Amino acid sequence: MPKVNVKWGGNRYEVDVDTSSEPLIFKAQLFELTGVVPDRQKIVFKGKTLKDDWEGFKIEDGSLIMLLGTVSEAPKKLTDEPMEVENKDRYIEEKKLNLPAGLNNLGNTCFMNASLQVMKTIPELQTALSLYNADSMEITSKQITMGLKTLFKQMNGAENKAYPPHLFVLQLQHCFPQLATKTPQGMNEQQDANECWNEIMRCLNSELALEGPEKEKISFKRFVEGTHKIELRNTEAEDEVQNSEENFYELSCYLTQEVKYLQSGINKTVEQITKHSTKLGRDAIFEKKTLISRLPGYLCIQLVRFFYKEKEKLNAKILKDVKFPFILDVFDLCTPELKEKLAPNRAAFKEYEDKAVERLRQSKLEEKVEKEEDIKYAPYSFENDPGSNNSGFYELQGIVTHKGRSSNSGHYVGWIKVNKQWIMCDDDEVHPVTEDDVQKLSGGGDWHCAYLLLYGPRRLRID
């Protein structure tokens, strides 16, 4: 991968160029350095202008490339505009909150924006990204992981502002062409946020690691990967039993007519299937029992709202109202062995809650204001299994919602909890919301419907 010198506006930049990728990726790199958007860039090398491919650009280490183009006018700051008193007060309050950076919509990229905002609420992910360095950019997982590291770093430095994710959008579309389809008019088509989430997570899981207490490497996927124990028992020959395990990265909540609450939608531990019986030499009815034998620290749940309508040739949406809890208990989904392991920490939570009333009364008498950084918590993972959940209790920390009637259209929004405050991330618009606002995202109409739910470990406070 040659390192070239790019001259622009009296400045010179050293840039690694991957000529196996589209020139748009190179243009996005230059945008990150100069602020000149790709559409305004003219890149010249030995009298030739860079087009849609690298033809005629035989560059090597040290090549000098000219960049022509001007930075578009920066948007005016909110404070430059006259504001009504009510809006001004709200702006001042939001500035105090240090709101996360928004992401500009670059043409139907809200599916990505919403997913990334929710993903960013996983602190272990941000830590792992900060430690990551790619030894090559030729592999898809490395491109995406390094791109996300750069984007999150830029977002962390742009609080209370919006950031245009040009480079990461181009990387995502280059690595996953199914997320880069266009309309007949050449515009970006709306994509599925869950597919985007899974593709990015797959890359991160194969690349990232954290440092454990003994300096050992802990794969990031341990924080988001659970394990199902599956038992298949032949109902016609009960001594024919098959046991297996499989890993999962999200649970699915199927929205059948009787499902009104999230817990009932994911509690499908026993079902009957037809499969070939080795013992009987024919198809037979098997009882399939699926229980969780390992809980991840962070649990993603998809509400399966979209289904394909053959006649209309589109992915229609189930608008059904399904209530979801802020505190989720998945104890009933676990194997007996895991339940036994969870018991001590669940007892500790109960003991803590039994004393909560007295603590609340005492805190009011003392009028003591506690800072979050002063509060200590017990580990949420088993000592011999970093990244696991040791209680079965989870707390909601992020939601991706969809508004519209089809996955091929409509609009995605991210809702995240930061320092006990819920925040709506609607592309570049970011502002606080109440828990009542979040509760209204359960569906039932044309308003935003919860599509992906991210639960983090419920933390046990140590007094």
Phi, psi of 366 (to 5 degrees): -85, -10
Exposed/middle/buried for residue 160 (C-beta within 10 Å: 0-12, 13-18, 19+): middle
Q: Distance between CA atoms of 238 and 426, rounded to whole angstroms?
A: 54
Stretch (H or E) spanning 26: helix 23-34
What's the pLDDT score for residue 390?
Answer: 98
Q: State the total domains in the chain.
A: 1
Q: Characterize 216-230 residue by residue with b for buried, 16 or more Cβ atoms within 10 angstroms of its Cβ, and e for exposed.
A: eebbbbbbbbbbbbe
pTM for the structure as a whole: 0.81
Residue 20, domain CATH: 3.10.20.90
* Helix/strand/coil for 45: strand
Cβ pair 309, 317 in contact under 8 A: no
State the chain's maximal CA–CA distance in angstroms.
81
Q: Distance between CA atoms of 340 and 121, rounded to whole angstroms?
A: 30
Note whether residue 451 is domain-resident.
no
Note whether residue 53 is domain-resident.
yes
DSSP structure string for 210-228: EE-TTS-EEEGGGGT-EEE
Note whether residue 32 is domain-resident.
yes
Residue with tokens 């007295």: 358
What's the pLDDT score for residue 293?
Answer: 98
Q: Distance between CA atoms of 342 and 150, rounded to whole angstroms?
A: 38
Phi, psi of 60 (to 5 degrees): -145, 175
Cβ pair 197, 452 in contact under 8 A: yes
DSSP structure string for 269-314: -EEEEEEEETTTTEEEEEEEEEEEEE-BSSEEEEEE-EEEETTTTE
Note whether residue 434 is domain-resident.
no
Cβ atoms < 10 Å from Cβ of 380: 19
Note whether residue 168 is domain-resident.
no
Note whether residue 59 is domain-resident.
yes
In sign, the C-alpha dihedral spanning 272, 276, 280, 284 is: positive
Q: Distance between CA atoms of 92 and 81, rounded to whole angstroms?
A: 14
**Beta strand 64-68 pairing with 3-8:** parallel
* Helix/strand/coil for 335: coil
Assigned token pair, 4: 């070239």
What's the pLDDT score for residue 30?
Answer: 82
What's the pLDDT score for residue 371?
Answer: 63
Exposed/middle/buried for residue 244 (C-beta within 10 Å: 0-12, 13-18, 19+): exposed
Written as tens digits, the pLDDT of the chain (463 aa) is: 788 888 888 888 888 887 777 787 788 778 777 877 777 788 888 878 888 778 878 888 888 888 888 875 433 333 333 434 444 455 445 555 689 999 999 999 999 999 999 999 999 999 999 999 987 778 999 999 999 999 999 999 877 789 999 999 999 999 999 999 988 888 889 999 999 999 999 999 999 999 887 788 999 999 999 999 999 999 999 899 999 999 999 999 999 889 999 999 998 889 999 999 999 999 999 999 999 999 999 999 999 998 877 776 677 888 999 999 999 999 999 999 999 999 999 999 999 888 877 766 666 555 555 566 678 899 999 999 999 999 999 999 999 999 987 767 899 999 999 989 999 999 999 999 999 999 999 998 778 999 999 999 999 988 7
Q: Distance between CA atoms of 453 and 450, rounded to whole angstroms?
A: 7
Cβ pair 346, 392 in contact under 8 A: yes
Q: Distance between CA atoms of 162 and 420, rounded to whole angstroms?
A: 22
Note whether residue 12 is domain-resident.
yes
Cite the active site residues: 110, 411
Note whether residue 35 is domain-resident.
yes
Assigned token pair, 67: 């960049």
174 sits in the region (left: phi over 0; alpha: psi -120 to 50; else beta) called alpha
Name every residue whose Cβ is closer than 8 Å to that of residue 100 and which is 6 or more positions away in sequence. 117, 120, 155, 159, 416, 418, 423, 425, 430
Cβ atoms < 10 Å from Cβ of 368: 8
What does each C-alpha distance from 117 to 88, 267, 289 come to in angstroms?
26, 28, 35
What's the pLDDT score for residue 63?
Answer: 87
The boundaries of the domain holding residue 34 are: 3-68
